Structure 1
Amino acid sequence: YAWEAIANGEDFKLLCLDNLYIHGKIYKVPDPKAVVQIVHGALEHKERYMDLIKFLNKKGYSVVISDNRGHGESVNKKYPLGHINSLDQVIDDQLVINDYIKSHSDKDIYMIGHSMGSMIARNFLKNYDYRIKKLVLTGTVTYNPLVYLAIFVGNIINFYMGFYGNSKILKRLYSSGMSEGWLSFNEENLMEAKNDKLMLESFTNRGYLTVFHAMKELKNHRAYKLKNKDLKILSITGDCDQVVGGKKGLMDTIKTLKKIGYKNVSYFIMPHMKHEVLRENNKEDVFKIIEEFFNS
């Protein structure tokens, strides 16, 4: 349907690889400065981004957000909650959404990827960096060299226990180094996450393996076609985020993006914030940084 005809907060669904419908929502403003494509994190869902979406709408940006496959409403029998079959599929899902935006709007597209979404976004860049003008990474997951061990174990478990099992070993490998309350200092956010029925406990065995692959591929420099080396990339992380790997991990992430060939990579470290900088007590500070980056 025509972009103009879409009401604020209009649902859409798009048929993606392996006959799965990806469900999403469009939050439209008249004559937007750009359209923002949001990729959410692991084991969560699109509805957790409402504060950011309202802020971006108010500042003149239309927003498109979807549930990643195996999350929220983007499920079916073959793809139950927590199941992702391959990294290629989640990248292709974002490509289909990007195509959908382009077919309805001639405005620039900016992308925001949070946590696992930051890994999906960075993998999206390999072939499709020319399709977006700016990229914001939040809760930016760092590469961990132990990922090769995780993949080795993951392959064995998937072979012997099947794709759809829920291995405790893989869960432990996935969440190693995360203590309770790792999401945020914001207690209200922790309570909401705990009581949210769409917040998932775990991935399937295949889902974990896909996440490990997404991390491994962050260092696959040669796979990046680099069609848009001038792409502006901004990372925003909390100074107490356990997923970032400290200052050393963050610097490795920034250095990797520069080594790949991206010229405009910058970062902010937010004081007294943990992983979910978009849902922390001072989230408005993060929103303002994103706005300034988008307006620059």
Structure 2
Amino acid sequence: MADAHAKPNHDYHIIAPSPWPFLGSLGALIMAIGGVAWMQYLKQGNFPFFGFNLASSHWYLFAIGLAIVLYTMYGWWGDTIKEAHEGHHTRVVSLHLRYGMIMFIASEVMFFVAWFWAFFDASLFPNEVHQVARAEFTGGVWPPKGIEVLDPFHLPLYNTIILLLSGTTVTWAHHALIHGDRKGLINGLALTVGLGVLFSFVQAYEYIHAPFTFHDSIYGATFFMATGFHGFHVIIGTIFLLVCLIRAMKGDFTPKQHFGFEAAAWYWHFVDVVWLFLFASIYVWASVGATIAHGH
């Protein structure tokens, strides 16, 4: 009986009791409360919560929650890697992992649809009669009056080339893995991580020297929300690929079993595609007829 339980006659994996869902939820709750307290602190310096003013400890709460979430990610995904090494990722389990990643990316697509919707709603209808406040805020034109936009064929084009190159290097790494070329896998991943870091530095430089701010108008708000969240996803994807690089250097992944790397590659290609839409709409299309900021 014990042997039958240890080696069940099915392709499904019954997961052992795990602390990670509860711990991750607790960390997310603390981080959310800390984040709200932080924003209230910046706004008015007061955040009453069950008789306590959490505004004074906003930073500590946020940091504690973030630390718990990061520890949960490390432990939970570490357990998943261990399960794979122990042979629990059967054909059925691997298929379900793929379904899970596909649904996650689909949810991310809808997340960015919201920001594109906000951008196009404001840009295509800047002078709607029933939106008088918006018309006054934009001057009835897009980009709003007084706003100088970034030159799309300067740093944005440079970052587009960087991301397109990173898409080719991660594909090179994938093909190298499939053909058992460990050196090609490591080199391709290393180049992809380097290009991801370079993209983030270029975007940070662009933000610092942008001729408009988040508070200037709805143009600045939609621009920084859409491109900023994309930049956050680039950072997440870079870390994802960095973990895959470390695992590859340790000898993980085989031509037949490498979903951890495959998921990272899917995520990275998703980030690439979103950027192409951002570049085409928010940078190029929105700059037509607009005043280009000199030197940007």
TM-score (ref. length: structure 1): 0.29
TM-score (ref. length: structure 2): 0.29
Which of the two has greater strand per residue?
1
